[in-house]
A and B are shown apart, each in its own frame.
Chain A
């Protein structure tokens, strides 16, 4: 380390730094050049992602021939005591997959954004941010140690903040960005704690070198690091109890939601879990906690998704739910980890497909509220087709992407514990249910966006953004938006087939497991059960939402129902996870789901209110104790001074008198001293 800076490793992998450098360069170019780049900046942005993708493909092909983990030392960043923190890239089977996902989906989303933001004056800025995000995300997945990963982690947090608040003129977007930022910083507290403990106790921050020293160190340190990293992962991956920022993050542009808040960044927490797997193996209790949080989020997300009143919010709930699957898998050990990566990749693809389809819908009709959609299948059939591909993939139709990955997770969970496995199966059913609901309400049935257009003209003008026409006119998405949808749809359909069987062998060395590849036609009783539950979910949803009346939507008028009293009382002393059990007492489950399970209110009561109260009390103490105390001290000083000032009257005779008295006292004490 420290000798030569670059190219210690020869060959393609030695130059891996360019995949990070290119988007950084593109971002700097776009953000620094200003209006000059407005005309062609988006192409720079696309190239900044597409070129790394090409490089990653080349690298991947090389690794296919000769699979090996390679570390590339670029630079010694810090040397603190015995701990070296290097800018070191780790290119192994796991990180190359992530690199491909990030750059691949990123490139598609960038191409999509050219059309999506064609009329937005801030498009160049958008591409600058996207490139910044890609660079940070690549740094995150290619990092060899926790500190470098943290650098990327914060970078994606920053990019996420910037992109959620991309339309910063909207108050909702600005607030959502702030909320996401704050909740993620809270979660980062865990990361920083973990790094600090690693510095102190493990003597290394490299992924591969922390588990053994912590094991030797004994004590609670491994557990502390594991819990702290879990906190960080919960924040980044929107897991219970830090999930609520993801719903608000939908205020950002839809491509951002697709790339950052569905496909890549939210999976960074899972990636962290996977990289820390040796560490979690040391503390099974925390590993169980990871799985439990995953299951919990699986249900919470499904609930929110099932009650969502906006396409993007439904998908946000779905993302939580699916990332819950990933967390569940990550908590299952090496076997689960492999399938977590599998599902992560397929989810990244089909969720991006779904989000971009939603973007196409909103681009076509101008809004995404379910109440005002419906019947779009006849209007934008191509979008419907793309959405359906994603839909079929996510609910787990056999032979499609989601089927294989989810089946593997369910079977691994069942092997670990029937309870977890059962929950995972129920989760699959719920997924099928809410996704069917979304599909039906958006594309099937009456075209409410025309029926309601007149009635809602006044309302729409007030509540829909100004760029949405009160009487929507359908305009078709440009080709730059179509191409990514086609690619992603095809991947959603065929990705599972391609990866299944191969991935186990590919990732096995990373997690140290030997997994027998399962055949494409491998069906066991668990698969059939799952398919049955999925079918049940689809059927229930079809029966429920096949025909919906405008009157039914009237119950949605109350966008944000008040927090039920029972929650109110319990929330003050309970944790946020209790929200489910508590909320069940309430009647309108849908309203609760639409309100995001009152996570905001609960966090407000559980975290914000105590802090506010603490602030109040500190302010009170400041006023009553410090300020008044200070005042009292100067008043007392004033009194003492006024008293002593009478001695200091300037009259030399008074001073002489005092001198005399002092002499007398001194003499007296001297005499007493002598006589004693």
Chain B
């Protein structure tokens, strides 16, 4: 009875989470949904007298595999957003038809495969004095060669991952001295300020990193918002909200600053850095992200 309850809770959850994995627009959401699906699946394993797999599912899948996905996303940038417009003509329709047919066939075939009900694993588990012990006995006796092969596979995969992810350094390592020299040279050549860029939220009403820093004249300081946030569209750069923010900020410090300009005036003054926020990451930032 309890297993039925768990099934009816976990199975729809798993399905919903699976659908979420597929349809979520953001990759992180997909990963989270996948995580939930794994946990629900683990619960289903528990109802199927597989306590070891229940634990392994949660540990291995949610604990390591999904984490690997997340690490990867952190490495290669969460900001790459997928356009959901299909590029291959007829792919979705065809996929729908094919998957529908396959599901129908699977349900017809597999869904009716078992005439009787469940057996029980209690005898086996009792024989090996426990589910994990039973699996262990099987793995180290009957399936020992498969186990060794799997071990070799995992080892190879680890090596392969290292080889694939590793890149040789092709340029000399940039140390502090070199980067400082480069910064000053950049200043001399193009006038880029050698000072560190402003952090987010400076002079902002909110301290969220999504809010850009404002310059003394009230315009937005370029580069003060993480390119990742910009790429995700999470930066608060709306044309409607910003002028108000700037105005409010200006009002709060009105007494301290003798000259007050609005952002509108700033834009009319024609300072390009003030009105256009670099949506694309700066070149060096992009490189850093790729590495």
Contact = CB atoms under 8 A, between A and B. Distances in A.
* A and B are interacting partners: yes
A234 B98 CA distance: 81
Given A657-B98, A660-B99, A668 B88 contact: no
A65 interface: no
A671 B107 CA distance: 12
Contacts of B108: 671
Given A651-B88, A653-B91, A671 B109 contact: yes
Interface string A644-672: 00000101011001001101100110010
A667 B105 contact: yes
A412 to B, nearest CB: 98
A659 to B, nearest CB: 9
Contacts of A657: 91, 94-95, 98
A660 B102 contact: yes
Contacts of B101: 664, 668
B106 interface: yes
Contacts of B95: 657, 660
Given A651-B88, A653-B88, A653-B91, A664 B109 contact: no
Given A653-B88, A653-B91, A660 B105 contact: no
A250 B106 CA distance: 96
Identify the interface centre among A651, A660, A664: most chain B CB within 10 Å of its CB. Answer: A664
Interface string B82-112: 0000001001001100110110011011000
Contact of B91 (A654, A661, A664): A654
A200 B98 CA distance: 70
Nearest to B104: A664
A175 B29 CA distance: 95
A664 B98 contact: yes
A654 B99 CA distance: 13
Contacts of A663: 102
Nearest to A665: B101
A667 B109 contact: yes
A131 B30 CA distance: 103
Given A660-B99, A661-B98, A664-B98, A654 B105 contact: no
Contacts of A654: 88, 91
A649 B108 CA distance: 33
A651 B108 CA distance: 31
Nearest to A670: B109
Interface in B98-143: 98-99, 101-102, 105-106, 108-109
A453 B94 CA distance: 102
Among B95, B98, B99, B108, which residue has the most Cβ atoms of chain A within 10 A? B98
Contacts of B88: 649, 651, 653-654
B114 to A, nearest CB: 15
Contacts of B94: 657, 661
A663 B105 CA distance: 10
A22 B102 CA distance: 95
Contact of B105 (A649, A653, A664): A664
Given A653-B88, A653-B91, A654-B88, A667 B102 contact: yes
Interface residues of A, number: 12
B105 A671 contact: yes
Contacts of B106: 667
A657 B91 CA distance: 8
Contacts of B105: 664, 667-668, 671
B126 to A, nearest CB: 37
A216 to B, nearest CB: 78
B94 to A, nearest CB: 6
Nearest to A662: B98
A661 B88 CA distance: 17
A654 B87 CA distance: 11
Nearest to B102: A664
Contacts of A660: 95, 98-99, 102
A667 B102 CA distance: 8
Contacts of A651: 88
B113 to A, nearest CB: 11
A397 to B, nearest CB: 107
B280 to A, nearest CB: 27
A664 B103 CA distance: 9
Interface string B26-70: 000000000000000000000000000000000000000000000
B105 to A, nearest CB: 5
A664 B99 CA distance: 8
A664 B98 CA distance: 7
Contacts of A671: 105, 108-109
A654 B105 CA distance: 21
B278 to A, nearest CB: 33
Contacts of B102: 660, 663-664, 667
Nearest to A651: B88
A668 B98 CA distance: 12
A657 B102 CA distance: 11
B93 to A, nearest CB: 10
A660 B101 CA distance: 10
A667 B106 CA distance: 8
Nearest to A659: B98
A667 B109 CA distance: 9
A661 B95 CA distance: 9
Contacts of A667: 102, 105-106, 109
Contacts of A664: 98, 101-102, 105
A471 to B, nearest CB: 97
A664 B91 CA distance: 16
A102 to B, nearest CB: 91
Contacts of B91: 653-654, 657
B109 to A, nearest CB: 6
A673 to B, nearest CB: 12
A424 B109 CA distance: 103
A661 B98 CA distance: 5
A628 B66 CA distance: 61
A597 B88 CA distance: 82
Nearest to B103: A664
Interface string A544-573: 000000000000000000000000000000
Contacts of A661: 94, 98
A298 B105 CA distance: 95
Nearest to A660: B98
Contacts of B99: 660
A177 B162 CA distance: 85
A651 B95 CA distance: 14
Interface in A343-358: none
A661 B101 CA distance: 9
Interface in B153-201: none
Nearest to A658: B98
A649 B91 CA distance: 12
A667 B111 CA distance: 14
A134 to B, nearest CB: 87
Residue of A651, A653, A667 ringed by the most chain B CB atoms within 10 A: A667
B290 to A, nearest CB: 23
Nearest to B95: A657
Nearest to A671: B109
Contacts of B109: 667, 671
Nearest to B108: A671
Interface in A613-652: 649, 651
A653 B109 CA distance: 26
A653 B86 CA distance: 11
B53 to A, nearest CB: 26
B102 to A, nearest CB: 5
B282 to A, nearest CB: 33
5 contacts: A651-B88, A653-B88, A664-B98, A668-B105, A671-B105
Given A651-B88, A653-B88, A661-B94, 14 more contacts: A653-B91, A654-B88, A657-B91, A657-B98, A660-B95, A660-B99, A660-B102, A664-B98, A664-B102, A667-B102, A667-B106, A668-B105, A671-B108, A671-B109
Interface of B: 88, 91, 94-95, 98-99, 101-102, 105-106, 108-109
Shortest beta-carbon contacts, A-B, top 6 = A660-B98, A664-B102, A661-B98, A664-B101, A667-B105, A657-B95
